[in-house]
Structure 1
Amino acid sequence: MRPRPARVVDFQPVPAGRLVAVYAILSAGLVGLAARLAWVQVVQGDQLLNRARAIQTQTIQPLGKRRTIVDRQGRLVALDEERFTLWAHPRYFAFPGDDPGTVRPSLDVARKLSAVLAVPMADLMRNLGDRKSGVKLASDLDPDTAQRVRKLAISGLDLEPYPQRLYPQGGLFANVVGFLNLERVPQAGLEQSRDSDLKRHEAQLSLRRGADGTPLPDGLRPGVIYGDDLRLQLTLDARLQQVAQQALTKQVKQWKAKRGVALVMDVRNGEMVALASTPTYDPNQFWKYSPGLFREWSVQDLYEPGSTFKPINLAIALQEGAIDPAGKVNDTGQLTIGGWPIFNHDRRGNGLIDFPTVLQVSSNVAMVQAMRNVKPATYWEWLRRLGIDEVPDTDLPGAVAGELKTREQFVTQPIEPATAAFGQGFSLTPLKLLQLHAMLANGGRLVSPHITRGLRSGDDLAPPPPASGVQLIRPEIAKTVLNWMETVVQTGSGKGTKIPGYRIGGKTGTAQKALNGIYIPGARICSFVANLPVDDPRFVVLVVVDEPQGGNAYGSTVALPVARQIIEALLVLEKIPPSAPSDHRTKTSGSAPGRAG
Structure 2
Amino acid sequence: MARRSRPEQRSRRPSRTSTNRTRSRVVSLAPVPPKRLWIVFLILCTGLAGLVGRMAWLQLVQAPVLEEQARQLQTQRTRPLGQRRPIVDRTGRLVAIDEKRFRLWAHPRYFNLPGDPPNLVRPPSDVVELLAPHLAIPASELLIALRTRSSGIKLGEELDPETAKRIQALGISGLDLEAYPQRIYPQASLFANVVGFLNAERVPQAGLEQSRDSDLVRHEQTRSLRRGADGTPLPDNLAPGVFYGDDLRLQLTLDSRLQELAVKALAAQVAQWKAKKGAAIVMDVTNGELLVLASTPTYNPNQYWSFPTGLFREWSVQDLYEPGSTFKPINLALALQEKAIQPDDRVHDIGQLMVGGWPINNHDKKANGLIDFAKVLQVSSNVGMVQAMRQLDDQLYWTWMHRLGIDRRPDTDLPGAVAGQLKTKEQFMTQPIEPATTAFGQGFSLTPLKLVQLHGMLANDGRLVSPHITRGFRSGAALAPAAPPSGQQLLRPEVTRTVLQWMESVVDQGSGKGVQTPGYRIGGKTGTAQKALNGIYLPGAKICSFVATLPIEDPRYVVFVAVDEPQGAHAYGSTVAVPVAKQIIDALLVVERIAPSKPVDLNKPTKS
**Is the CA contact 2:545–2:563 (under 8 Å) kept in the aligned structure 1?**
yes
Q: In structure 2, what is the equivalent of residue 426 of structure 1? A: 444
Q: Deviations over 1:165-203 (max 9, x none)?
A: 111111111111111111111111111111111111122
Distance in 2 (CA, whole Å) between partners of 1:47 and 1:132 is 34
2:558 to 536, 540, 559: 540
Instruction: Name the SS of the counterpart of 2:543 in structure 1.
Output: strand
**Is the CA contact 2:462–2:491 (under 8 Å) kept in the aligned structure 1?**
yes
Q: How far apart are residue 407 of structure 1 and its match?
A: 1.1
Q: In structure 1, what is the equivalent of residue 159 of structure 2? A: 141
1:211-360 matches, within 5 Å, as: 211-213=229-231, 215-360=233-378
Q: In structure 1, what is the equivalent of residue 428 of structure 2? A: 410
1:451 is aligned to 2:451: no
1:98–1:211 distance in 2 versus 1, CA, 3 Å: farther
**Is the CA contact 1:175–1:294 (under 8 Å) kept in the aligned structure 2?**
yes
2:525 maps to amino acid:
K
Q: How far apart are residue 332 of structure 1 and its match?
A: 1.1
Q: In structure 2, what is the equivalent of residue 570 of structure 1? A: 588
1:363 maps to amino acid:
S
Distance in 1 (CA, whole Å) between partners of 2:337 and 2:254 is 33
1:124–1:491 distance in 2 versus 1, CA, 3 Å: same
Instruction: Name the SS of the counterpart of 2:155 in structure 1.
Output: strand
1:29-48 matches, within 5 Å, as: 29-48=47-66
Mean Cα deviation higher: 94-103 or 448-457: 94-103
1:24 maps to amino acid:
L
Structure-2-length-normalised TM-score = 0.92
1:351-500 matches, within 5 Å, as: 351-500=369-518
1:143-182 matches, within 5 Å, as: 143-182=161-200
Q: In structure 2, what is the equivalent of residue 81 of structure 1? A: 99
Distance in 2 (CA, whole Å) between partners of 1:397 and 1:370 is 37
2:573 maps to amino acid:
G
Q: In structure 2, what is the equivalent of residue 502 of structure 1? A: 520
Instruction: Name the SS of the counterpart of 1:173 in structure 2.
Output: helix
Instruction: Name the SS of the counterpart of 1:185 in structure 2.
Output: coil
Q: How far apart are residue 349 of structure 1 and its match?
A: 1.0
Instruction: Name the SS of the counterpart of 2:445 in structure 1.
Output: coil
Q: How far apart are residue 521 of structure 1 and its match?
A: 0.5
Q: How far apart are residue 101 of structure 1 and its match?
A: 1.9
Q: How far apart are residue 572 of structure 1 and its match?
A: 0.7
Flag the structure with larger Rg: 2
2:509 maps to amino acid:
T
Instruction: Name the SS of the counterpart of 1:400 in structure 2.
Output: coil
1:208 is aligned to 2:226: yes
**Is the CA contact 1:509–1:527 (under 8 Å) kept in the aligned structure 2?**
yes
Distance in 2 (CA, whole Å) between partners of 1:554 and 1:526 is 6
Instruction: Name the SS of the counterpart of 2:238 in structure 1.
Output: coil
Instruction: Name the SS of the counterpart of 1:336 in structure 2.
Output: strand
Q: How far apart are residue 450 of structure 1 and its match?
A: 0.6
**Is the CA contact 1:535–1:580 (under 8 Å) kept in the aligned structure 2?**
no
Q: How far apart are residue 108 of structure 1 and its match?
A: 1.1
Q: In structure 2, what is the equivalent of residue 6 of structure 1? A: none
Distance in 1 (CA, whole Å) between partners of 2:167 and 2:235 is 29
2:130 to 112, 133, 137: 112
Distance in 2 (CA, whole Å) between partners of 1:74 and 1:29 is 76
Instruction: Name the SS of the counterpart of 2:254 in structure 1.
Output: coil
Q: How far apart are residue 455 of structure 1 and its match?
A: 1.5
Distance in 1 (CA, whole Å) between partners of 2:525 and 2:142 is 64
Distance in 2 (CA, whole Å) between partners of 1:434 and 1:111 is 63
Q: Deviations over 1:10-44 (max 9, x none)?
A: 99576245544443333232122112212323343
2:579 to 551, 557, 561: 561
2:567 maps to amino acid:
Q
Q: CA RMSD in A?
A: 1.8
Mean Cα deviation higher: 295-304 or 90-99: 90-99
Q: How far apart are residue 273 of structure 1 and its match?
A: 0.6
Q: Deviations over 1:112-139 (max 9, x none)?
A: 1101111111111111106322221111
**Is the CA contact 1:180–1:187 (under 8 Å) kept in the aligned structure 2?**
yes
Q: Deviations over 1:209-241 (max 9, x none)?
A: 233545443432442111111111111111111
Distance in 2 (CA, whole Å) between partners of 1:217 and 1:114 is 42
- Residue-pair matches, total: 576
1:214–1:277 distance in 2 versus 1, CA, 3 Å: farther
Distance in 2 (CA, whole Å) between partners of 1:435 and 1:127 is 59
Instruction: Name the SS of the counterpart of 2:104 in structure 1.
Output: strand
Q: Deviations over 1:370-401 (max 9, x none)?
A: 11111111111111111111111011111111
1:103 to 121, 130, 146: 121
Structure-1-length-normalised TM-score = 0.94
Distance in 2 (CA, whole Å) between partners of 1:192 and 1:199 is 11
1:153 maps to amino acid:
G
Gapped runs of 5+ residues in structure 2?
1-25, 601-606
**Is the CA contact 1:58–1:215 (under 8 Å) kept in the aligned structure 2?**
no
Distance in 2 (CA, whole Å) between partners of 1:185 and 1:11 is 94
Instruction: Name the SS of the counterpart of 2:370 in structure 1.
Output: strand
Q: Deviations over 1:565-597 (max 9, x none)?
A: 100111111111111469xxxxxxxxxx9xxxx
Instruction: Name the SS of the counterpart of 2:198 in structure 1.
Output: coil
Q: In structure 2, what is the equivalent of residue 527 of structure 1? A: 545
Q: In structure 2, what is the equivalent of residue 549 of structure 1? A: 567
Q: Deviations over 1:461-493 (max 9, x none)?
A: 111111111111100110111111111111110
1:184 is aligned to 2:202: yes
Distance in 2 (CA, whole Å) between partners of 1:525 and 1:17 is 117
Distance in 2 (CA, whole Å) between partners of 1:211 and 1:124 is 40
2:405 maps to amino acid:
G
Distance in 2 (CA, whole Å) between partners of 1:11 and 1:228 is 88
Instruction: Name the SS of the counterpart of 2:250 in structure 1.
Output: strand
Q: Deviations over 1:540-588 (max 9, x none)?
A: 0100110000000000000111100100111111111111469xxxxxx
